[in-house]
Amino acid sequence: MLERAGRAGGLWVALTLLAVACGAPAPSGPAAVGGGASSPAASAAPSVVRAAGAAEPTAATTTAASASYRPTPLSPPVALKAGLIGGTSDAGIYIALQQGYFEQEGLQVEPEIVPSTSVMMGALAAGQLDVLGPPSAASIFNAAGRQVSMRMVADKGSTPSPEWDFVSLMVRKDLVDSGQVQDYRDLKGLTATLAGQANAPEIELVKALERGGLSLADVNLTILSFPDMIAGFANRAVDVGVVIEPFVSSIEAQGTAVRWRGVSEFYGNHQVAAVVYGPSLVEERPEVGRRFMVAYLRGVRDYNDAFGPKRQGREAVIQALTTYTPIKDAAAYDRMRPADLDPDGTLALQSIRDDLAYYERTGSVREPVDLSQVVDTSFQEYALRQLGPYQR
């Protein structure tokens, strides 16, 4: 059994690694993006096949739609299970739960904290989870290559600028204070930690090491969950690590490591995590998937209102985060760099292509994967037609 998050969002489960199903039926759900990652057209933004009769949204029509949006909930309500990592990039889902946006759509969403993307994908393929919020990982592309009907459907965390950079390369404070680590090349020989391999943190660590002319072979790699990194830095078991909020701020507060470089500094805009739908939404109940997306984007927009220039509704948003994440101190969120959650749910497609190319190059993904097997923007576009573009 996966452990329920509910109001104990800081719990982490110990799960047996589930193998991704190999014989799942081919996708037959909503129209997916076209253009494979290996095709000549891959450098251009994929086109989306829209449902028949669906008009292109305009600012005027969609803004009006947002103001008058009043959903009729599904009856009876539909229960969904969402596998999350327990970080601040899950905020859109937590806020939608707290504010009742899922309930207004007739959805009963149960969040479950899952410590591994591989476990998430296995549970998705087995029908134990309906929605995921994983980091970019080879297991997502491998599942698609095996014809598991799953899709990345919306943004769930990227790093476009330092102000919204929630992922950091942290270095032990004493190593920085002593001058032992001043530049990327000084990372050579250190013990580095990641929350997993063949995933977004690995790519980010590789990018940082490349800045110093180094590779993964130049560090001693150890795998720790994000919560375990707090103790890892405290007892000097690790020297450097790729860490996400809210754990960055927790480690900084204990004074054992510093936010040395943000991902936006040494990588740029990385699509760190995405909302992923499984077969139950892609194939069987696309209407439920559309409703989930509308509620999710409403939560994401509240998040942007709170942490962006508007600074509106901040108390309610922080209450949702303290309820569902391990960080219960409301003041801690003033010290964090918030995750960038695109208020329109737009995915950074080039970053996804670049990740796939890395996994193919390193052998983590061996089967040919077309981007249309991985990304489907139709759910996000449907939500935009209901809510309109976000008004900054």
Asked if residue 151 has pLDDT above 90, the reply is yes
The predicted pLDDT at position 132 comes to 95
Percentage of residues in the chain with pLDDT exceeding 90? 69
Q: How many CA atoms lie within 13 A of 46 on its CB side?
A: 29
Taking a C-beta distance cutoff of 8 angstroms, is the pair 355, 348 a contact?
A: no
Question: Side chain identity at 321, as an amino acid letter?
Answer: L
Is this model's pTM higher than 0.85 or not? no
Structural domains in the chain, CATH included, are 47-158+271-387 (3.40.190.10), 162-266 (3.40.190.10)
CA-atom Rg of the chain in angstroms: 20
The predicted pLDDT at position 13 comes to 31
pLDDT tens for 282-291 read 999 999 999 9
Decide: helix, strand or coil at residue 262: strand
> How many Å is the maximal CA-CA distance in the chain?
65
pLDDT band at residue 67 under the 50/70/90 scheme? low
pLDDT tens for 158-213 read 999 999 999 999 999 999 999 999 999 999 999 999 998 999 999 999 999 999 99
Here the tokens at position 55 are 């008009």
